[in-house]
């Protein structure tokens, strides 16, 4: 069992290094995803902002027009008093009526503009909240990643030193074989055999081999998945001992 215990240690150390490395490899993709999400939200916000500004300007313009025409009506009304002839008087009245009617249409337009303006204003606030949320996450994650990046290589280096230390206790050819299985079996190279089956691939282990596992302190591998297997008592067996 001594060698197997060392192999279990080795697997643990190699597994940690592998997980760290995987985490590190994922970072550029994660950053790119966050960045593109941020840019998407930003573009959406800017487009809404543009729309909002345009509507705001149109609204002001319309309000100014209406105001001007109202003044015109007021001035014309004042002028009515000083008009001498009926002809001129009716012409002026007609003009006032025309201006009033145009203004009614303008007010309708203003109402529709106001509705669109308010809708854009609401959407703008939503887009702003979306953008703030994503940019907050983005910044937070980048600070986290920057801090993490510094320690990654450090941690991987430490694990590598530990891996060499553990591996030195074993025969180099066994280590090479183990590393090969580790790669092929996705980081699981040494597993328990329990109740006549391999816990790595769940295939049965012949009683002959299973008995050897119980008795011998030698390295045996599962005939199906090639993982190193070691004997582990089931709860019932353990209780019976």
Nearer to Zn ion, 73 or 188 (CB): 188
- Binding residues with Zn ion: total (CB under 5 A): 6
Name which of 89 and 196 has its Cβ closer to Zn ion.
Answer: 196
**114 or 192: CB nearest Zn ion:** 192
Contact 188, 31 (CB under 8 A): no
- Please pick, from the candidates 96, 181, 201, 228, the single residue that binds Zn ion as defined by CB under 5 A: 201
Cβ atoms 181, 189 nearer than 8 A: yes
Check binding of 224 to Zn ion (CB under 5 A): yes
Residue 117 binding Zn ion, by CB under 5 A: no
Q: Which residue of 45, 52, 163, 200 would you call a contact of Zn ion, by CB under 5 A? A: 200
User: Is 13 or 225 the residue whose CB approaches Zn ion more closely?
Assistant: 225
Contact between 198 and Zn ion per CB under 5 A: yes
Q: How far apart are CA 165 and CA 167, in angstroms?
A: 6
**Is 222 an interacting residue with respect to Zn ion (CB under 5 A)?**
yes
Instruction: Spell out the residues 6+ positions from residue 65 whose beta carbon is closer than 8 angstroms to its own.
Output: 106
CA distance to 55, 58, 62, 95, per residue, from 104 (Å): 20, 17, 12, 14
CA–CA gap between residue 226 and residue 183 (Å, rounded): 12
Residue reference for tokens 């119980």? 214
205 binds Zn ion (CB under 5 A): no
Piece in contact with Zn ion (CB under 5 A), picked from 28-36, 67-75, 131-139, 214-222: 214-222
**By CB under 5 A, is residue 225 in contact with Zn ion?**
yes
Comparing C-alpha atoms, which of 18, 9, 8, 16 is closest to residue 190? 8
Q: Which is nearer to Zn ion, 62 or 227 (CB)?
A: 227
Cα–Cα distance measured from residue 199 to residue 95, given in angstroms and rounded to the nearest whole number: 97
* Positions in the binding site for Zn ion (CB under 5 A): 198, 200-201, 222, 224-225
């Amino acid at each position: 069992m001594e060698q197997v215990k060392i192999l279990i240690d080795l697997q643990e150390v190699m597994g940690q290094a592998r997980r760290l490395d995987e985490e590190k490899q994922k970072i550029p993709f994660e950053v790119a995803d966050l960045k593109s999400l941020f840019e998407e939200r930003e573009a959406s916000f800017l487009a809404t902002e543009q729309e909002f500004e345009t509507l705001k300007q149109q609204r002001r313009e319309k309000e100014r027009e209406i105001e001007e025409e109202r003044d015109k009506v007021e001035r014309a009304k004042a002028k009515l008093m000083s008009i001498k002839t009926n002809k001129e008087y009716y012409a002026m009245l007609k003009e006032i009526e025309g201006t009033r009617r145009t203004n009614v249409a303008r007010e309708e337009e203003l109402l529709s503009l106001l509705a669109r303006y308010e809708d854009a204003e609401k959407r703008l606030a939503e887009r702003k909240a979306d953008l703030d949320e994503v940019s907050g996450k983005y910044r937070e994650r980048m600070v986290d990643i920057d801090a993490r990046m510094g320690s990654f290589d450090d941690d991987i280096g430490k694990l590598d030193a530990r891996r060499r230390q553990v591996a030195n206790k074993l025969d180099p050819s066994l280590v090479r074989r183990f590393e090969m299985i580790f790669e092929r079996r996705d980081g699981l190279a040494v597993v328990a055999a329990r109740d006549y089956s391999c816990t790595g691939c769940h295939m049965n282990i012949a009683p002959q081999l299973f008995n050897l596992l119980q008795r011998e302190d030698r390295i045996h591998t599962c005939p199906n998945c090639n993982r190193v297997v070691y004997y582990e008592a089931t709860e019932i067996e353990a209780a019976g001992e």
